[in-house]
Amino acid sequence: MKMLRCRPIVAALAIPVIAVVALLALGGPARAARPRGERGRVALTQAQEQAGLARCAQSLQPNGREADFVGQMRSLKAGDHMAMRFTVLQRPTGAPAFTELAVLPWRVQPFHAPVWRWIEKVRDLPAAAQYRARVSYLWRNRHGAVIAHAQRTTPICGEADLRPNLHYSGLRAVALSQPGLARYTVSVRNTGRSPAPAFDTTLVVNGEQLAPVSAPGLAPTQAEGVVFKQAPRCLPGSELDVAIDPSHLIDESNETDNTATVPCPLP
């Protein structure tokens, strides 16, 4: 189980590590609060509470993926006390709906003011997902009784997977004039969002693995033909096994499209 890191400390959750830093616009320390009994309820308008997204940062590095969620609320009557709580919601790529990722502590207004604004900075967001926050608002009278509450949802912060992806695109073979020899070209394309460093490609022909061939790094969308020269000619009806980055040295967004088994293309 990994821990949810924040300031102040919150409970452990079975989720990826997320660091949370809260910034209080009006200053002063925050302390935990729990809802108590309600009486003397006050009617609300949407203008009295707002939820927003101040910043959404994408990065290849986990600690650079951040979202700054904002909550703002207005005083309803003289002497009331206000509190907010942010629940971080996540929708991974392909998921049908948002689900709760983390419930953060109640943030309590340290002293009375007509308008109170709180920024919840969430860090280390896992990539390939969308995030938003559900903001809960609570108003209490001077005796501590709840007089109103509400909820709003922030806009979405999308964290795309920015890693490279080496994708197998095909294989061509040409028989050479020397008996029993052929030249093979493996097509590789970087379908990811960032450059891929230099990589190796291996090829198995007639059950024998050829020496790996190195290829230069690829920019996003760039393709390269990896050539195996003076290789054994594949036997009709046999299969060839291709592996790109066989040692998995490159961190890719998709590790399932690096290999292929294809029939011998030569007669």
User: What single string gives the DSSP state of each residue in 120-167?
Assistant: EEEE-PPSSEEEEEEEEEEEE-TTS-EEEEEEEEPPPEEE------EE
Cα Rg, the chain, nearest whole Å: 28
**Residue 60: half-sphere exposure toward Cβ, Cα within 13 Å:** 11
Could you give the CA distance from residue 243 to residue 258 in angstroms, rounded to a whole number?
6
Q: Which amino acid is at 183?
A: R
- Return the pLDDT at 20: 54
pLDDT band at 192 (very low <50, low <70, confident <90, very high): very high
Could you give the CA distance from residue 173 to residue 232 in angstroms, rounded to a whole number?
11
In sequence order, which residues have a C-beta less than 8 Å from that of residue 181 and are 6 or more positions away?
Answer: 175, 230, 231, 232, 233
Segment among 31-40, 82-91, 136-145, 186-195 with least mean pLDDT: 31-40
- Return the pLDDT at 62: 87
pLDDT band at 111 (very low <50, low <70, confident <90, very high): confident
Domain boundary assignment for the chain:
5-159, 166-263
**pTM score over 0.75:** no
- Return the pLDDT at 12: 27
Could you give the CA distance from residue 189 to residue 92 in angstroms, rounded to a whole number?
25
Could you give the CA distance from residue 131 to residue 129 in angstroms, rounded to a whole number?
7
| Residues 230 and 181 sit within 8 Å (Cβ to Cβ) | yes
pLDDT band at 34 (very low <50, low <70, confident <90, very high): very low
Question: Residue 233 pLDDT > 60, yes or no?
Answer: yes
What class does CATH assign to 166-263? Answer: mainly beta
| Residues 96 and 130 sit within 8 Å (Cβ to Cβ) | no
Fold entry, domain 5-159: Immunoglobulin-like (2.60.40)
CA torsion sign for 208, 212, 213, 218 is positive
CA torsion sign for 141, 154, 116, 3 is positive
**Same fold flag, 5-159 and 166-263:** yes
193 phi and psi angles, rounded to 5 deg: -105, 0
Q: What is the mean pLDDT of the chain?
A: 86
Look up residue 150 and give its two tokens.
Answer: 């509400």
Could you give the CA distance from residue 1 to residue 232 in angstroms, rounded to a whole number?
51
- Return the pLDDT at 112: 86
- Return the pLDDT at 11: 28
